[in-house]
């Protein structure tokens, strides 16, 4: 890679990861914004989508507590996977931001932990198979108290 291109690469990566906004909307990507705060609830617990649709999920943490005690993530599991079982396994995966590598094959898409006043996002193609796909926050205890939902593919 020449020097000119190597200087542009970081800029390209930053610009490409800023938002799911207008540039992706032009490419047929639908954006779903989910907010969370210190009450350990997602603002959206059901997302309906079509097979093969492109989705961008943005997770915004509007809480005030420090990341160490109240971070949130978003993990979309494959059809038939158990969100509670994933969250239980995640308790032992602090070094992996509560996304256990041993269960990586069960995950369709995810957003890493975000602290207060931060956001994260992921863009993915909705599975072709109709059905319900669970999503959750795998930070300790969050899923167990209700921080979960479902992607319904129709």
CATH fold for domain 3-153: Immunoglobulin-like (2.60.40)
- Give one word for 131, left, alpha or beta, with left for phi > 0 and alpha for psi -120 to 50: left
pLDDT at position 27 is 74
Sheet containing 118-125: order of strands: 29-36, 54-61, 118-125
pLDDT at position 118 is 98
Q: Which residues of the chain have pLDDT under 70?
A: 1-26
User: For residue 29, which phi and psi values (nearest 5 degrees)?
Assistant: -100, 125
Alpha helices (H) in the chain, listed in sequence order: 3-17, 22-26, 67-70, 83-90
- C-alpha to C-alpha distance for 81 and 69, rounded to whole angstroms: 27
pTM: 0.84
């Amino acid at each position: 890679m020449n020097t000119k291109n190597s200087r542009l690469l970081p800029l390209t990566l930053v610009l490409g990861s800023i938002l799911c906004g207008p540039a992706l909307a032009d490419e047929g990507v639908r954006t779903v914004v989910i907010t969370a705060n210190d009450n350990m609830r997602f603002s959206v617990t059901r997302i309906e989508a079509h097979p093969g649709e492109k989705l961008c999920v943005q997770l915004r943490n509007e809480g005030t507590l420090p990341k160490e005690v109240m971070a949130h993530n978003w993990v979309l599991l494959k059809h038939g996977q158990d969100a509670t079982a994933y969250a239980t396994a995640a308790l032992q995966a602090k070094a992996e931001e509560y996304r256990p590598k041993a269960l990586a094959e069960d995950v369709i898409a995810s957003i890493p932990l975000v602290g207060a006043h931060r956001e994260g996002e992921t863009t993915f193609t909705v599975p072709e198979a109709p059905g319900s796909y669970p999503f959750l926050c795998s930070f300790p205890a969050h899923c167990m108290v209700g921080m979960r939902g479902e992607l319904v593919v129709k």
